[in-house]
Chains A and B, each alone.
Chain A
Amino acid sequence: MPEGVGMSDQNSSPGRDRLLHALRRPGRGQVAAGVLLAVVGFAGVVQVQSTEQNDDYEGLREEDLVQLLNSLSAASQRAENEITQLEQTRSSLRNDTDSRQAALEQAQQQADVLGILAGTLPAVGPGIEVTVKDPGGKVGIDQMLNGIEELRDSGAEAIEINDAARVVAQTALEDGDTGIVVDGKPLAPPYTLEVIGEPKTLTEALNFTGGFVADVEGPLVGGEVTIEQKEELEVATLSDAAQPEYADPLDTE
């Protein structure tokens, strides 16, 4: 090893002289040095290049790579957790929307049912059309009320008279000068009742002995009733939904 020897700090010139001499007149001993220096230069340049072109992970030690891998898998774990959380949020939001939708649909259904019952919605469906002719002018509210009651009794869901009056819970019938008066609307015979319900049941409800048809067509009144069963008829007249003034819903909880 050459390093241990360099204590000779003699008069300066010989070292420099030797260097100049070697540069001018190279000897045999320099061949080995040249070869080794070539090796050093080659290896150094190769190493520099491989450091510069380095993809980040090439040449890292095993433990460094393991650490890197750990941190990466921790990061991906975090990302996965986040994904799960977001998915949960999404599904809960979706459930929310679904249940809201269901509630909305239910409310809409109920509104439809109530609207048909209260006469605020036009209705369509199978039913019967009852025409009452009254040549003698003797068909009054007695007969009509009976008829309507019979129809309700057999499941009539929507009733309309003469395309002008909807019969609902609040409907009042009176006798008028030229016919019956329904909710203040005077109607003239012949009366046409359009009733939505099960056609057969409704027909039977009017036809039984001593019922509506017998009553109207009897000798006392002298009217004429025709009943037509229809697959589909429309009850388009609406009644104004009366806002209850005195009645409040009772809390039933």
Chain B
Amino acid sequence: MIAGLGLLVGIVLGLLLRPEVPLWLEPYLPIAVVAALDAVFGALRAFLDGIFDDKVFVVSFVSNVLIAALIVYLGDKLGVGGQLSTGVIVVLGIRIFSNVAAIRRHIFHA
């Protein structure tokens, strides 16, 4: 309940404030959002599995975001930023799909 409310509050805040994305953050924000989504779906699955722990969630969330940003940063420095961020997106996408599949099995038994 609180989690759903939090998501709603975040969306409304973003819509109301309409902040400018600072320039240095621009390459990392999309990757960070995808990484955070991965963490969220992982957490939801863990919750349905009955092994959810809020500390683990916080840590996995933060580390996911940081590692994704770090990989993109490294890629930019190495001159393969575009390819590497594509790779990160692919990997995170696969994980999101498998997590969503597990969640679906829990909720719909299918």
A44 touches B14 (CB 8 A): yes
How many residue pairs at the A-B interface have CB separations less than 8 Å?
164
Question: Please, what's the 1-or-0 string for B40-71, where 1 marks a CB less than 8 Å from any CB in chain A?
Answer: 10110111111111111110110000000000
Which residues in A have their C-beta under 8 angstroms from that of B98? 3
Q: Smallest CB–CB gap between A55 and chain B, Å? A: 12
| Contact status B46-A5, CB under 8 Å | yes
Residues from chain B with Cβ under 8 Å of A43 in the complex: 10, 14, 29, 32-33, 36
Q: Which residue of B lies closest to A29 (CB)?
A: B54
A61 touches B82 (CB 8 A): yes
User: Which residues 18-45 of A sit at the B interface, judged by CB distance below 8 A?
Assistant: 18-19, 22-24, 26, 28-45
Q: Chain A contact residues: over half helix, strand or loop, or mixed?
A: helix
Check B8–A41 contact: CB distance below 8 A: yes
Of chain A, the residue at the smallest CB distance from B80 is A63
Please state if A42 and B11 are interface contacts (CB–CB under 8 Å): yes
Residues of B within 8 A of A18 (CB): 47-48, 50
Known: A22-B1, A37-B40, A43-B32. A6 touches B54 (CB 8 A): no
- Which of A2, A8, A41 is in CB contact (< 8 Å) with B10? A41
Q: Shortest CB–CB separation between residue B9 and chain A, in angstroms?
A: 5
With a cutoff of 8 Å between Cβ atoms, the chain B residues found around residue A32 in the complex are 54-55, 57-58
Q: Which residue from chain B places its CB closest to the CB of A38 in the assembled complex?
A: B10
**What separation, in Å, do the CA atoms of A22 and B19 have in the docked complex?**
33
Cβ-defined contact, A36 with B50, below 8 A: no
Residue of B nearest to A14 (CB): B50
Cβ–Cβ < 8 Å partners of A42 in chain B? 10-11, 13-14
Task: Give complex CA distance A29, B57 in Å.
Answer: 10
Q: Are A61 and B109 in contact (CB under 8 A)?
A: no
A42 to chain B: closest CB distance in Å? 4
Contacts of A36 in B (CB 8 A): 6, 36, 39-40, 57-58, 61
CB < 8 Å neighbour of A2 from B2, B51, B76: B51
Collect the chain B residues with CB atoms within 8 Å of residue A23's CB: 1, 4
| CB of A150, distance to nearest CB on chain B (Å) | 100
Which residue of chain A has the shortest Cβ distance to B101 in the bound complex? A6
CB-defined A-B contacts under 8 Å, sample of 23: A2-B57, A3-B46, A6-B46, A6-B102, A8-B49, A14-B50, A15-B106, A18-B48, A23-B4, A26-B3, A30-B2, A30-B54, A33-B6, A36-B36, A37-B3, A37-B4, A39-B36, A41-B8, A43-B14, A46-B19, A50-B29, A58-B26, A59-B27
Ranked nearest first, the 6 interchain pairs of A and B with the lowest CB-CB distance are A41-B10, A34-B6, A2-B46, A45-B14, A38-B10, A15-B48
**With A15-B107, A49-B18 already in contact, 17 other A-B pairs whose C-beta atoms are closer than 8 Å:** A2-B42, A2-B45, A2-B46, A5-B46, A6-B45, A6-B46, A6-B102, A15-B48, A19-B48, A23-B1, A31-B2, A35-B6, A43-B14, A43-B33, A49-B14, A59-B26, A63-B79
